[in-house]
Amino acid sequence: MDISVVVPLYNEAESLPELAAWIGRVMSANGFSYEIIFVNDGSTDESWEVIRRLREADPGHVRGVSFRRNYGKSPALNTGFGLAQGEVVITMDADLQDSPDEIPELYRMIREEGYDLVSGFKKKRYDPLSKTIPTKLFNATARKVSGIKNLHDFNCGLKAYRKAVVKHIEVYGDMHRYIPYLAKLAGFHRIGEKVVQHRARKYGKTKFGLDRFVNGYLDLATLWFTGKFGKKPMHLFGLLGSLMFLLGFISVAVVGGMKLWHMHTGAPYILVTDSPYFYLALVLMLMGSQLFLAGFVGELVVRNSPKRNDYEIEETI
């Protein structure tokens, strides 16, 4: 099979028939063999009934999976990725903001230009300003932290993947915003971008509020940490802890040493506890040991994780 289109959706009943028909038109015009996998993320509207009807009308191309409750876009994508059989997997939002007309070119970029992942770039967006401005900031940070310098739009719902990519990454929580970073961490480096058309939402309303930006930054921090130190937490905590402890130790030695020296030379001296540096040194030493302990605990967790020796092997000969 050439293409699997994975569509995560939450309360998008009105858009679905139009979307399915449009995808079908594009596929048959280009002679692709394909499947559409609708992942119903616990919709409370008619979405699932609509998907059932679409499947009845075209069982050869339409598949569906339905969560009992709303889990989020990432779990929906992950489930769709598990089921996908096409050589190229396309993800697309259900709200008709992404255009199926982009599919042939995305497919070509994966198959002929050798990309592992091609992300859409909504250069001209039809979203409110309250969303487009923070999005620019968000993408700049994501580029810096992930080191994927050529992407302008990490969170574009329209993306294309080589099959191996979706089978080797795990999208959980709200990590759908950083799929290119997840792919990079799994060893897929050929990540490209294609400017895509974006349209205003036709039916329904957006499912994400402003908390997306707070959560987005926290998730980015998590990915950075787990990507760099996930298998060796001591290398981060141990270093920070040792530095702090050392600084504290030196300070306390200086404070104590000075008192002893003044006593020795008969100069007037103050009690160690009268020096503010003594307290700073205490705090530093305490925090240093705490960080060090966090490192040990982290190492224990890693050691007991069944994934501790899980590597992405590309080829064995």
Distance of closest approach, residue 10 Cβ to ligand UDP, in angstroms: 4
**Among the candidate windows 94-102, 229-237, 264-272, 289-297, which touches ligand UDP by CB under 6 A?**
94-102
**Interaction pattern, residues 169-208, with ligand UDP; x per rule: CB under 6 A:** -------------------------------------xxx
Question: Amino acid identity of 162?
Answer: R
State the Cα–Cα distance between residues 76 and 41, nearest whole angstrom: 6
Q: Which is nearer to Mg ion, 35 or 95 (CB)?
A: 95
Cβ(53)–Cβ(16) below 8 Å: no
The count of other CB atoms within 10 Å of the CB of residue 89 is: 26
**Among the candidate windows 65-73, 177-185, 257-265, 268-276, which touches ligand UDP by CB under 6 A?**
65-73
**The token pair that represents 146 in the structure block:** 């992930």
Q: Cα 52 to the chain's mean position, in Å?
A: 31
- Based on the shown chain and the rule CB under 5 A, indicate whether residue 12 belongs to the binding site for Mg ion: no
Which does residue 73 bind out of Mg ion, ligand UDP, none, counting CB within 5 to 8 angstroms by kind?
Answer: ligand UDP
**Residue 7 bridge partners (DSSP):** 38
Q: Write down the H helix ranges in the chain.
A: 16-30, 47-57, 73-83, 103-111, 129-146, 163-168, 179-185, 211-229, 234-265, 276-303
- Could you say which residues in the range 86-115 bind Mg ion, by CB under 5 A? 93, 95, 97
b (16+ CB within 10 A) / e for 144-161:
ebbebeebbbbbbbbbbb
Radius of gyration of the chain (CA): 26
Q: Is 13 helix (H, G, I), strand (E, B) or coil?
A: coil
Residue among 3, 4, 6, 8 that touches ligand UDP (CB under 6 A): 8
Which does residue 72 bind out of Mg ion, ligand UDP, none, counting CB within 5 to 8 angstroms by kind?
Answer: ligand UDP
Which does residue 241 bind out of ligand UDP, Mg ion, none, counting CB within 5 to 8 angstroms by kind?
Answer: none
Which does residue 141 bind out of ligand UDP, Mg ion, none, counting CB within 5 to 8 angstroms by kind?
Answer: none
Distance of closest approach, residue 206 Cβ to Mg ion, in angstroms: 6
Q: Cα 139 to the chain's mean position, in Å?
A: 12
Count the site residues for ligand UDP by CB under 6 A.
Answer: 17
Which does residue 135 bind out of Mg ion, ligand UDP, none, counting CB within 5 to 8 angstroms by kind?
Answer: none
**The token pair that represents 207 in the structure block:** 């499912």
State the Cα–Cα distance between residues 121 and 157, nearest whole angstrom: 10
- Based on the shown chain and the rule CB under 6 A, indicate whether residue 125 belongs to the binding site for ligand UDP: no
- Based on the shown chain and the rule CB under 6 A, indicate whether residue 102 belongs to the binding site for ligand UDP: no
**Interaction pattern, residues 202-221, with ligand UDP; x per rule: CB under 6 A:** ----xxx-------------
**The token pair that represents 212 in the structure block:** 């997306």
Using CB under 5 A as the criterion, which residues of the chain lie in contact with Mg ion when the complex forms?
93, 95, 97
Using CB under 6 A as the criterion, which residues of the chain lie in contact with ligand UDP when the complex forms?
8-10, 12, 41, 70, 72-73, 76, 93-95, 97, 157, 206-208
